[in-house]
Chain A
Amino acid sequence: MRKIIFLVTVFFFITGLLSTSEIWAQKEKGKPKLLRLTFYYPVGVAGPLARVIGEMTDKFNKEHEGRIEVVPVYSGDYDPTMQKVQTAIMAGNPPDIFMVEISELPTLLAMDSVLSLDDYVKKLGKEYWDDFFPPFRENAVIGGKVYGIPFQRSTPVLYWNKEVFKAAGLDPEKPPKTWNELKDYATKLTVRDAKSGDVKQWGVTISGGWNDWLFEAFVRQNGSFLISADGLTANFDSKESIEALDFWVELKHRLKVGPPHSTWGSTPPDFVGGRTALLYHSTGILTFLKRSAKFDFGVTFMPQKKTFGAAVGGANLMIAKKIPKERQEAAWKYIEWMSNVKNTAEWSAASGYVAVRQSAYDDPVMKEHVSKNPEYLVARDQLKFAHGKMMAKNFQKVREILKRQLDDSAAGKIVPAEALKIAQKEIQAVIK
């Protein structure tokens, strides 16, 4: 018995060693003419998206056989992807093409690791760049230079459960349109146990986890912003922001019609399970909800205060700066191909992400997709009122600071004006 275990161990170990040397051999065999590019990408929404990216890339590789071969590398969620990209850049071994969460751009620029795409974009003319929805473009540009091409992009929207609307005596076809209506509806939709007073159904859930992103939308709806477009000046303690946070505290703490804390991943199941009537979440969950919900539900704009408003999210395609010119050109060929009208339409239909180019909605694939599922148009239409997401250096720290204040306020531990004053001071120090 002991001998067998020993032999098995040795066997696995040796096969491990042999297979690694095989990879060496393969690497050396590659013909000199062929450019093999690496592409790190995250997957942000459910579904076999890694396979979709693989299939799209295969098509590209076939068209460029013998010259360019792009190897797509799945690298986890947004955070692990950023870590993998950063580690590789610091080690002087950057991926040729990569996609990271949009707000990380200033951090990567500070590392001098992103190639400006200005020349490439100019060569394609206005019809290319201007075809991308304006708020998506905002997060690709810093200091007047283009650094990324929008690809997997989303925005938060409001979902409502039509059946519980009926049960509460509300018109199931009329979701709340303003903050006041939202408060009113949420109060009517909250169901408490008659004896214990425990909440059985929340009126509205403003999801935690990415609550910094949702909070930015509320501030936009109130006509203000959180960080200036150049990423250098924080504006967290404006009158409008304090008002927005106070509205949250009213819903989550004073009226108790929404959970004060939740996680990003747990709230879609809550909605599907009927534990919340209204849900603020990314448009990226629409496909999941359609497949999982047993009841009729609707998608609509997030309610307005002074205006409708949202901050867009997702990731852009970028090229590494410190790679040879010929690799950069090949990388651009891939990005240009991935962002052509037909491919953006196909990607949107397969993933549920918003199609990044306006003309994609005239593509036959897309037309068929949205005629069957008109809900997918809500996020696109809301883009008229949307803005770029805040961006700054050390964005992970910025999020951490803001989320802490948002959570403490929702728990009633601190008043909004105080919380945002602290956030303002700490964040300004971090992004300078």
Chain B
Amino acid sequence: MKFNRNFRHRTGLHLALMLVSLITVAPYLWILSTSLKFRTEVFTPTPKWIPWPINIQNYLEMFEMAPFHLYLINTIIVVTGILAVQLVTITLAAYVFARRNFWGKEFFFFLFLIQMMIPIHATFLPNFLTLKNFNLLNTRIAMMLPFFASGYGTFLLRQAFRQIPRSLEDAAVIDGCGGLRFLWHVLIPLAKPTLIAFSIISIVSHWNDYLWPLIVTDTPEVRTLTIGLGMFVQQESGADWTLLMAATAFVTAPMMIFFLVFQKKFVESFMLSGMKG
């Protein structure tokens, strides 16, 4: 009896969850389906989910339009480069703001917060000028440099550090562990969920960056995936849907795989950081 009720409760829950996940997965399935169709099969009066006959040509044609393999390598370099530097800068900055006292601390922290509020487009011209003076235009560094410091990340991590009790620090100091060692051995391990959450946000947002990379780069050797993707969306004639979907599948696939592999870690970290508020 008890087992039965439990079972029924579970099936109900799973059915509901499956329905919700279907809504999330449907667009992706539609992308895959369209990417395998012929052009005349895309717009049928009744939606056609299973493409038949299958047309793999789209993926080959897509690679003819632009060097997507280069774009993929560039995107990975840019995204990991940004994240690697960000993790260092935000941990140090957050540590100082959370645990040290110095003159003008509140004011400087306020400046960090303001950085989050300035629309990114307003920073394009000054950043462009800086890069031009450093002779860095049309390089991968140009796409990374403006994002090396992150107000958002600093804020997020500072909050996480502040939640860690002072007594821990006192204990550490008594045992002769201060400053950076305390940061490395105590604060960072405890703030791991926040760091992971921030990393995901950073990776996803820079993976999808379009306008900044478009403005600072000129040659295919340094350009990123989104610019390649943009070539399939045309203002005057609408999109070339089958190719656009093939390209979208290719551009999103690494993110999908990344998420599937690390899924458990992510959910865990989000739940933890969610509880901490």
Interface residues of A (CB under 8 A from B): 8-10, 12-13, 15-17, 19-20, 23-24, 38, 42-48, 50-51, 71, 73-80, 83-84, 87-88, 90-93, 154, 210, 264-270, 272-274, 282, 284-285, 287-288, 291-294, 313-314, 352
Interface residues of B (CB under 8 A from A): 39-40, 42-45, 64-66, 76-78, 80-81, 83-85, 124-125, 128-129, 132, 135-141, 144, 210-211, 214-215, 218-219, 221-222, 227, 230-241
Q: 20 other contacts beyond A19-B221, A265-B233, with CB at 8 A cut-off?
A: A8-B80, A9-B83, A15-B77, A16-B140, A19-B140, A20-B136, A43-B231, A50-B65, A71-B218, A73-B219, A84-B215, A88-B128, A264-B238, A269-B42, A269-B241, A272-B43, A273-B45, A285-B236, A288-B237, A292-B42
Cβ contacts under 8 Å, A154 to chain B:
236
CA–CA, A24 to B136, complex, Å? 8
Nearest Cβ on chain B to A385's Cβ, whole angstroms:
20
Nearest Cβ on chain B to A212's Cβ, whole angstroms:
13
Contact B139 A46 (CB under 8 A): no
CA–CA, A15 to B74, complex, Å? 10
Cβ contacts under 8 Å, A19 to chain B:
140, 221-222
Offer 28 A-B interface pairs, CB within 8 angstroms, sorted by A: A9-B84, A13-B85, A16-B144, A17-B141, A19-B222, A23-B139, A23-B222, A43-B234, A44-B237, A45-B237, A48-B65, A50-B66, A51-B64, A51-B65, A78-B235, A80-B215, A80-B230, A265-B233, A265-B239, A267-B238, A269-B42, A269-B241, A272-B42, A273-B45, A274-B45, A288-B238, A292-B39, A292-B43
The 9 closest A-B pairs by CB, nearest first: A273-B43, A44-B236, A20-B139, A45-B237, A284-B236, A46-B240, A265-B238, A16-B77, A285-B237
CA–CA, A42 to B221, complex, Å? 19
Contact B219 A10 (CB under 8 A): no
Q: Which of B42, B211, B221, B234 has the most CB of A within 10 A?
A: B234
CA–CA, A284 to B234, complex, Å? 10
With A87-B128, A264-B235 known as contacts, the answer to whether A20 contacts B39 (CB < 8 A) is: no
CA–CA, A283 to B63, complex, Å? 27
CA–CA, A154 to B137, complex, Å? 34
Contact A87 B139 (CB under 8 A): no
